[in-house]
């Protein structure tokens, strides 16, 4: 870890997004220390407090006071899981960076297997769930359907049943820092950057305590971000559907003309007309909506707001790595483990620093 002369970076950084996880933090910390100490290397953990309303921040600040390896980024509000991971990547100093959930669904022991792969020379080790315990049938089914759909339509190869739980080499992290898109699907981006990747299988445990922070609404938004960020298929679908119905209508015209010429007046009745008009109207609205989704995302990019705002950065040492992108406001050492009030600022992408 960063020593007083500030010349070394930790070998491992663990990034953990936290939103209202007060029940799990003490146990999480204990298991993490056990696991990471067993590697025999230096390490740091960066907790990203994503606008928790419970005592999470207090507990984390306390940990940071007692253990200098614990660092806390406190967001100014809830920005969401994917953004919290992004911030962790932006501030992580380790040669390898590991992302895991706070709730111990991603058992810290699996980290050791990822680290092994990293030592073998892989740049990314992502965890694949062979089994998930303690989740609803609905969640299992929708997750499984989603992973298969995204695999089918995405431009990049996104592995099946892999979450955000993964280890990345520093060079991958530096690549990830350059991707500043606003509606983020981190595991897609992690596939997009490439490098040598390998899967590590594990059984996903049940949440240690508390409730899932991913209700259906958020899951749908994540799925939506994943699809629109990595595929143009929904947009192309409009064209295919258009061709199909134009063809069908062409055929209908021919049939109508032929029937009329031969004196059969069978195409009477308003129901057919009404139903087909409503049907096509519906389809057009659906595709307008799909275009709207992409348009909204373009708008988000154009506004170019920062991805997140940090209210406090606690426990950070003066970073020294030449490619460190830690902003100046963070470079001053913290005194007495007190939280510093860092200016509201987003981390600049590595390329701009």
C-alpha span between 161 and 231 (Å, rounded): 19
- Asked if residue 17 binds ligand UDP (CB under 6 A), the reply is yes
Classified as helix, coil or strand, 218 is helix
C-alpha span between 6 and 201 (Å, rounded): 37
- Distance in Å, CB of 214 to ligand UDP, minimum: 4
- Distance in Å, CB of 207 to Mg ion, minimum: 5
Q: Considering beta carbons, is residue 209 or 345 the nearer one to Mg ion?
A: 209
- Asked if residue 80 binds ligand UDP (CB under 6 A), the reply is yes
- Asked if residue 141 binds ligand UDP (CB under 6 A), the reply is no
Q: From the list 21, 103, 161, 164, which residue makes contact with Mg ion (rule: CB under 5 A)? A: 103
C-alpha span between 186 and 199 (Å, rounded): 16
Contact positions with ligand UDP (CB under 6 A) in 18-37:
18-19, 21
- Asked if residue 161 binds ligand UDP (CB under 6 A), the reply is no
Sole window of 105-113, 240-248, 256-264, 345-353 interacting with Mg ion (rule: CB under 5 A): 105-113
Q: If contact means CB under 5 to 8 A according to the sort of partner, which of Mg ion, ligand UDP, none does residue 84 touch?
A: ligand UDP
Q: From the list 49, 105, 191, 229, which residue makes contact with Mg ion (rule: CB under 5 A)? A: 105
Q: If contact means CB under 5 to 8 A according to the sort of partner, which of Mg ion, ligand UDP, none does residue 10 touch?
A: none
Please, is 276 exposed, middle or buried when counting C-beta atoms within 10 Å of its C-beta (0-12, 13-18, 19+)? Answer: middle
- Distance in Å, CB of 201 to ligand UDP, minimum: 18
C-alpha span between 199 and 197 (Å, rounded): 7
Q: Considering beta carbons, is residue 83 or 310 the nearer one to Mg ion?
A: 83
* Those residues with Cβ within 8 angstroms of residue 161's Cβ, 6 or more apart along the chain or in another chain: 128, 129, 130, 143, 144, 147
- Asked if residue 87 binds ligand UDP (CB under 6 A), the reply is no
Q: How many residues bind ligand UDP (CB under 6 A)?
A: 16
- Asked if residue 50 binds Mg ion (CB under 5 A), the reply is no
The answer to whether the beta carbons of residues 179 and 134 sit under 8 Å apart is no
Q: Considering beta carbons, is residue 80 or 188 the nearer one to ligand UDP?
A: 80
Strand order in the sheet with 70-75: 197-204, 124-132, 162-169, 96-99, 12-18, 43-49, 70-75, 310-314
- Asked if residue 111 binds ligand UDP (CB under 6 A), the reply is no
Contact positions with ligand UDP (CB under 6 A) in 209-238:
212-214
The H-assigned helical ranges of the chain are 25-37, 56-66, 81-91, 109-120, 137-153, 170-177, 186-192, 216-230, 233-261, 270-303, 328-331
The answer to whether the beta carbons of residues 231 and 153 sit under 8 Å apart is yes
Q: From the list 15, 32, 84, 307, which residue makes contact with ligand UDP (rule: CB under 6 A)? A: 84
- Asked if residue 103 binds ligand UDP (CB under 6 A), the reply is yes
The answer to whether the beta carbons of residues 226 and 297 sit under 8 Å apart is no
- Asked if residue 101 binds ligand UDP (CB under 6 A), the reply is yes
β-sheet bridge partners, residue 73? 48, 313
Contact residues for Mg ion, defined by CB under 5 A: 101, 103, 105
Contact residues for ligand UDP, defined by CB under 6 A: 17-19, 21, 50, 78, 80-81, 84, 101-103, 105, 212-214
């Amino acid at each position: 870890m960063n020593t007083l002369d500030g010349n070394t970076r930790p070998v491992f950084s663990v990034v953990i997004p936290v939103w209202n996880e007060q029940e799990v933090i003490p146990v999480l910390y204990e298991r993490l220390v056990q696991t990471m100490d067993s590697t025999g290397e230096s390490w740091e953990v960066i907790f990203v407090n994503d606008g928790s309303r419970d005592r999470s921040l207090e507990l984390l600040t306390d940990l940071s006071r007692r253990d200098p390896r614990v660092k806390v980024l406190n967001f100014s509000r809830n920005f969401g899981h994917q953004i919290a991971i992004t911030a962790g990547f932006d501030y992580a100093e380790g040669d390898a960076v590991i992302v895991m959930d706070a709730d111990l669904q991603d058992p810290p022991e699996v980290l050791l297997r990822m680290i092994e792969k990293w030592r073998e020379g892989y740049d990314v080790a992502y965890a694949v769930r062979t089994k998930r315990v303690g989740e609803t049938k609905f969640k299992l089914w929708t997750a499984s359907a989603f992973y298969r759909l995204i695999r089918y339509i995405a431009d990049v190869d996104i592995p099946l049943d892999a979450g955000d739980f993964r280890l990345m080499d520093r060079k991958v992290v530096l690549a990830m820092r350059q991707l500043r898109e606003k509606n983020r699907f981190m595991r897609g981006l992690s596939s997009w950057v490439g490098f040598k990747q390998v899967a590590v299988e594990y059984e996903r445990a049940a949440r240690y305590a508390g409730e899932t922070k991913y209700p259906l609404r958020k899951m749908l938004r994540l799925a939506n971000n994943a699809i629109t960020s990595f595929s143009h298929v929904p947009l192309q679908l409009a064209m295919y559907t258009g061709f199909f119905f134009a063809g069908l209508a062409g055929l209908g015209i021919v049939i109508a003309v032929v029937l009329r010429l031969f004196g059969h007046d069978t195409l009477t009745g308003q129901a057919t007309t009404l139903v087909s008009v409503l049907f096509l109207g519906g389809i057009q609205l659906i595709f307008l909506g799909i275009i709207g989704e992409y348009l909204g995302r373009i708008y988000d990019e154009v506004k170019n707001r920062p991805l997140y705002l940090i209210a406090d950065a606690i426990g950070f040492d003066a970073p020294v790595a030449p490619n460190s992108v830690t902003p100046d406001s963070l470079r001053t050492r913290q005194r007495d483990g007190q939280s510093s009030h860092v200016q509201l600022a987003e981390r600049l992408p590595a390329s701009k620093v």
